[in-house]
């Protein structure tokens, strides 16, 4: 079993005719994802290697039954693209775009809470359920089918940890990159609940980073609601206070949000935290063999 994307995914790509959109769409399709449509306003009737292009997401949904959207739209138009996807009834929207203003994401987040649709991202690498489907920009060759779920704010660390545990003969059920911006559509807790409900996920790796308190709040959720074991990793032990490191949300403010502080808090709630990806892989191996 997998979470969020699988053989039933019918993908529409917003921004399919752009260079990045086309490149990653075709990579997703080559992996086995069912890409049913693309959307670029004004280009209806065209196609991208056999994938039909529509003017609107609603037109694509009506014609193809698309249930998932991937967004490769420039930041100034990306918020409208997210709203268009939600308004068309898409169940799962994955926004790859980075640089969306936090104020715009506040409007999106408020809208999401009124319904039951799911947004992953923005500024995320997407999702892969190895052997079934991928939606996003992940390098698919580092993933193998298995029973470990991974949820991460970092793309590159996701790939490294997946490769490390794969080298130990351990595969993944699903891997979800939630994005590194201060405001994202789905939190650690949202995805942890999905893994907890998945009978084919035996353990979860949660990859966090400095800044904010999402990891600490996830620790409380894990201690109170999860039977599935969780192993953690926090990036940024060497990050200086007040300096943004990589993601917009990765910044230490005052005495809060440090890697050591997050590690201490998580371990106090029963979540073992590794100090590097290799150590995390060894923890996973020890837990599930």
Active-site amino acid positions:
247
CA gap 24, 76 in Å, rounded: 21
Q: What count of other Cβ atoms lies within 10 Å of the Cβ of residue 189?
A: 15
**What dihedral do alpha carbons 61, 62, 63, 68 form, nearest 10°?**
10
Structure-block tokens of residue 1: 């079993």
Instruction: For residue 20, give Cα distances in angstroms to 12, 33, 233, 254, 265.
Output: 15, 17, 30, 38, 39
Mention every residue, 6+ apart, whose C-beta is less than 8 A from residue 177.
Answer: 120, 121, 124, 125, 126, 127, 136, 138, 152, 153, 154, 155, 158
Q: Which residues pair with 133 in a beta bridge?
A: 129
Q: Which helix (H) or strand (E) holds 59?
A: helix 57-64
Mention every residue, 6+ apart, whose C-beta is less than 8 A from residue 151.
Answer: 175, 176, 178, 188, 191, 192, 195, 204, 205, 206, 207
Helix axes of 214-225 and 188-196: crossing angle, nearest 10 degrees: 20
Q: Which residues pair with 14 in a beta bridge?
A: 39, 71
């Amino acid at each position: 079993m997998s979470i969020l994307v699988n053989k039933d995914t019918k993908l529409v790509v917003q921004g399919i005719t752009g260079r990045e959109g086309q490149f990653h769409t075709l990579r997703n399709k080559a992996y086995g994802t069912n890409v049913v449509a693309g959307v670029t306003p004004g280009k209806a009737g065209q196609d991208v290697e056999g994938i039909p292009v529509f003017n609107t997401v609603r037109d694509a949904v009506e014609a193809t039954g698309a249930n998932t959207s991937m967004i490769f739209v420039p930041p100034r138009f990306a918020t409208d693209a997210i709203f268009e996807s939600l308004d068309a009834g898409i169940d799962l929207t994955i926004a790859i775009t980075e640089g969306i203003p936090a104020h715009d994401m506040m409007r999106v987040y408020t809208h999401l809470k009124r319904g039951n649709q799911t947004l992953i991202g923005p500024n995320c690498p997407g999702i892969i359920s190895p052997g079934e489907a991928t939606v996003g920009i992940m390098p698919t060759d580092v993933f193998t089918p298995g029973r470990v779920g991974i949820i991460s704010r970092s793309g590159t660390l996701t790939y490294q940890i997946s490769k490390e545990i794969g080298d130990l003969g351990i595969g993944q059920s699903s891997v979800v990159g939630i994005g590194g911006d201060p405001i994202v559509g789905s939190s650690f807790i949202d995805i942890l609940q999905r893994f907890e409900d998945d009978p084919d996920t035996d353990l979860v790796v949660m990859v966090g980073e400095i800044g904010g308190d999402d990891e600490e709040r996830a620790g409380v959720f894990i201690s109170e609601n999860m039977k599935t074991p969780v192993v953690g990793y926090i990036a940024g032990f060497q990050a200086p206070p007040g300096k943004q490191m990589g993601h917009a949300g990765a910044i230490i403010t005052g005495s809060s949000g440090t890697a050591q502080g997050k590690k201490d808090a998580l371990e106090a709630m029963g979540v073992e935290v590794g100090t590097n990806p290799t150590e995390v892989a060894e923890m996973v191996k020890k837990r599930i063999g």
